Amino acid sequence: MTEPETNEGGTTASLGENEESQTNKFDWDDLSYVTSSRYRGLALAALNDRPATPSDIAEAADVGIAHVSRALQGLRERGLVKLLVSDDTRKGRYYGITTRGRRVFKEASDGDTPHPDAEGGAA
- DSSP code of residue 98: -
Quickly list H helices, the chain.
Answer: 15-24, 28-35, 38-49, 54-61, 65-77, 99-110
Residues in the chain: 123
- Domain definitions of the chain by residue range: 25-110
Specify the pTM: 0.70
Show the low-confidence residues of the chain (pLDDT under 50). Answer: 1-21, 115, 117-123
In this prediction, residue 14 carries a pLDDT of 39
- Dihedral (C-alpha) 16, 18, 23, 28: value to the nearest 10 degrees? -160
Just give the CATH number of 25-110: 1.10.10.10
62-91 confidence digits (pLDDT tens): 999 999 999 999 999 999 999 999 999 999
